[in-house]
Structures are given as C-alpha cells and as structure tokens.
Amino acid sequence: MNRKDSFSRKHFFHKLTNLMRPGSIGVNVMAKVDRRNYTMDGELMDQKFSDAQASLRGFAKSKLKSSLMISAGFNPRLYSYISDFKEFYRGKKGRIKKKIILKVSDFRSAFIQGKYLAIKGLEVYEYRIESGLNCGGHTFATERVLLPEILKEFKEERDQLTTAMQPLLKSFIAKNKDGSSSKWATNKPRSGGYWHLWRNAAPFARL
C-alpha cells in the first residue's frame, strides 16, 4: 500500500466514522420461554417473576425508546401483562415510547396475535416474517409451507391487518379515553393523543 492509498483510507475511515449515529436498542423476548422461578428457600415466586414477564417488565421500566420484539409463539398471559405498562400506548402527543414488533411464521399467526393485542388497545408497529426452520437458531417447523407462499399470502391479505384491527383499537379508545388504568403509576388519560393519528397508526407487514 503506497502513501496515497494509506491517506485515502484514513480519510474515508474518519469521514465515515463521523457520519455514524447510534441506533435504537431493540429487545427480544421469547414468549414461550416463561419459566416460573423459585426463591433461595425453594418457594415458588409470583408469576410476574417468570422469565418472560420479568424481561418484559425490565424493558418497560427502562429509559429506552425503542422496540420490544416478541418471538417464539403466542403467550396470552404475557400479552395481557403488556397492557399493565403505559409505555406501550400512545401518549398525549400521539407517540409510542416502546413499540411492539411481532415475529411470526405465517399470516394466520400475525392476524390472531395482532387481534388479541388490538382488543387491549395495543398497536403492532411491525410484523416480521421468519422462517420456521431458521428462527434465531431454533426450529419451529411448519408443514409443507415454503416462505414464498407465506410472503404471497401476506401481500394479498395485508389489508386485513388494518381493517380488522382498527375497529378494535377505536373501541378500546372510546371506552378508555376519559379514564386510566389503576395498574399504572400515573393519573394521565390512558389514550390521549390517539384521535388525530389513525391514518398513520395502522399495523402493517413489512415485506
């Protein structure tokens, strides 16, 4: 390497380094990895100290403004626990501090899980489609369904993720717009700031 090449490399190294910006810190929780834990005396601890719920609570109480990625199956108990934290709902300015991303293996899974969350007023920011045969080093095989077919179904049916979820979200908002959850350590309205954002709040599948 001559001096000219060396100078050019250092120049672009520093230039590119100065252009770098820190990204958000996403947190992944495997829904079905929800083992109950015991105290040092051998007593079974409360459900909220299970692996998945403790992980979720730690993220919810952190200062991070990023996304919670839920993978490895559907856990209704964990999904219900999400509604205990205001950080997953829109605030008065219409922003969600902590977004929900679902990792799914097919459209049916996305629809069922998205609907369950929508009933609780929780929006899915993104659906990530993963192959069941290569899911973070784990195997969740789907019978005779290849990834191109799954992608095709998402492309054809993705509008349902909006048309089916929005009425449920609107219904939740209508019921809770003047109240707040007793589980939250706050007196602010539960759903403030939703009303002007419906065009931008539709769940979608990123293909």
Class of residue 143 by CB neighbours under 10 A (exposed 0-12, middle 13-18, buried 19+)? exposed
Provide the residue range defining the domain that includes 52.
24-197
* Number of domains the chain contains: 1
Q: Is residue 120 part of a domain?
A: yes
| Angstrom distance (rounded) from CA 130 to CA 98 | 22
For residue 49, which amino acid is it? F
pLDDT tens, per residue, the chain with 207 residues? 455 566 678 888 888 999 998 877 888 888 877 788 788 888 888 778 888 888 889 888 888 888 889 887 888 888 889 988 888 988 777 788 889 999 888 888 899 999 999 999 899 998 888 765 655 555 555 566 677 888 888 889 988 888 888 889 888 888 876 544 545 433 333 333 333 333 333 333 433
Q: Which helix (H) or strand (E) holds 71?
A: strand 67-71
Backbone angles phi, psi at 11, to 5 degrees: -60, -50
Contact between residue 75 and residue 81 where contact means Cβ atoms under 8 Å apart? no
Q: Is residue 155 part of a domain?
A: yes
Q: Is residue 7 part of a domain?
A: no
Q: Is residue 203 part of a domain?
A: no
Q: Is residue 4 part of a domain?
A: no
Q: Is residue 10 part of a domain?
A: no
Q: Is residue 14 part of a domain?
A: no
Backbone angles phi, psi at 73, to 5 degrees: 105, 180
Q: Is residue 16 part of a domain?
A: no
| Angstrom distance (rounded) from CA 127 to CA 207 | 9
